[in-house]
Amino acid sequence: MVTGMRTTAAETASTHQGIVPGYLLARLAGSSQFTRAAEAARQTLIRGRPEFRAALEFSIDQDGDLVADVRAAPTRTVYDAGGAEQLPGTRVRGEDDPVSADPAVNEAFDGLGDTHRMLREAFQRDSLDGAGAPLIATVHYGRKYDNAFWNGSQMVFGDGDGEVFTGFTGSVSVIGHELGHGVIQTSAGLVYQDQSGALNESIADVLGALTEQYVRGQTADEASWLIGDGIFTPAVQGRALRDMLHPGTAYDDDELGRDPQPADMAHYVRTVEDNGGVHINSGIPNRAFALAATTLGGYAWEGAGTAWYRALTGGLSKTAGFTEFAERTITAASGIGASVESAVREAWIAVGAIEDAAARTPR
């Protein structure tokens, strides 16, 4: 037993990040319109959130010789909790198993693979830890559980209540986001509190958006920049949980309220709720990324995405705030090209995370 170590509440929370923020569940819990969903939200809030594999690809070279290309591939295992809240549950699909009759199992399995492929091909990262970590997911967690989360070692999916939230396995951005927490955990380890926590959420959103865009082959201009598109039922007046390009506009519903995310530092929310506003204020760095990516055009992972990834994995402090991260992304962007550096710098100026030096220079 290890002694002499203390774990802070913020550090403990970092392994229980759910895609649906607590403030939205709390609002839903008091709904008089969505009675079934209200009960599901209350139960969700009460319950809380509780080996290397290589792919061999054979080809024939120009001399007619057989060539084996060893390429990193995911080691995926999906479990079924069967409505219970014990992890991981019953094993239902692995790498060499046939397609399941359960759509949620297959969606989770494919989403794990999509995220692994994006990390490998866009950033040359072998799985979440860069060393081929296995990817594990559990579906059908709890009864009408209104969330999906990363618990520090695996993905967990609830089925939603069916009235406000659908199942969470159908959204690639949700899966990429939650697995993104694993990338953050094994690289910078950003503390899940205040601005470093908001960066944690934002970078996970970036990785979720990039996964979806990579799978769909979308350029930055073609992308929706929505996180959780499709997880609301038609009964909700909303498009998604978050809109990275236009924070504060993802939903506006009589029962759920309006998306509270600010788009710039002038509207930064100071609160003790939500670990200091980690889900709320993540809209600011989210918008900086989306602005940089759309300014550059093309595939977002090639310019802004590479700058963000290098900043994350290049010695970022665990308590980094928006300004520190902005400066690191600008430095990383300078190594990619002048146009990338300019777009990244201007994006951070637009959201107010750094000052415009030119505007302060006396004429």
Residue 323 is assigned to a structural domain of this protein? yes
Question: pLDDT: is 22 or 61 the higher one?
Answer: 22
pLDDT for residue 157 is more than 80? yes
Nearby residues of 139 by Cβ (< 8 Å), 6 or more positions away: 78, 79, 80, 81, 92, 102, 104, 105, 108, 157, 159, 169
Query: Active-site residues: which are they?
Result: 178, 279
pLDDT of 1 higher than 60:
no
Query: Residue 270 corresponds to which tokens in the numbers above?
Result: 């100071």
Residue 1 lies in a domain: no
Domains contained in the chain, number: 1
Q: Show the DSSP H helices in the chain as ranges.
A: 9-13, 22-29, 35-47, 103-123, 172-185, 194-216, 274-277, 283-296, 304-313, 322-334, 338-350, 357-360
pLDDT at 62: 62
Say how far residue 286 (Cα) sits from the centre of its chain: 11
Residue 73 inside a domain? The answer is yes
Per-residue pLDDT tens digits for 159-210: 999 999 999 999 999 999 999 999 999 999 999 999 999 999 999 999 999 9
User: pTM for this structure?
Assistant: 0.88
Task: Determine, yes or no, domain membership for 326.
Answer: yes
Confidence of residue 63 (pLDDT cuts 50, 70, 90): low
Return the CATH number at 295. 1.10.390.10
In a domain, 3, yes or no: no
Does the residue 57 lie in any domain? yes
In a domain, 205, yes or no: yes
Residue 4 resides in a domain = no
Range of the domain at 72: 9-360
Q: Round to whole Å and give the CA distance between 194 and 191.
A: 8
CB 281: neighbour CB atoms within 10 A?
29
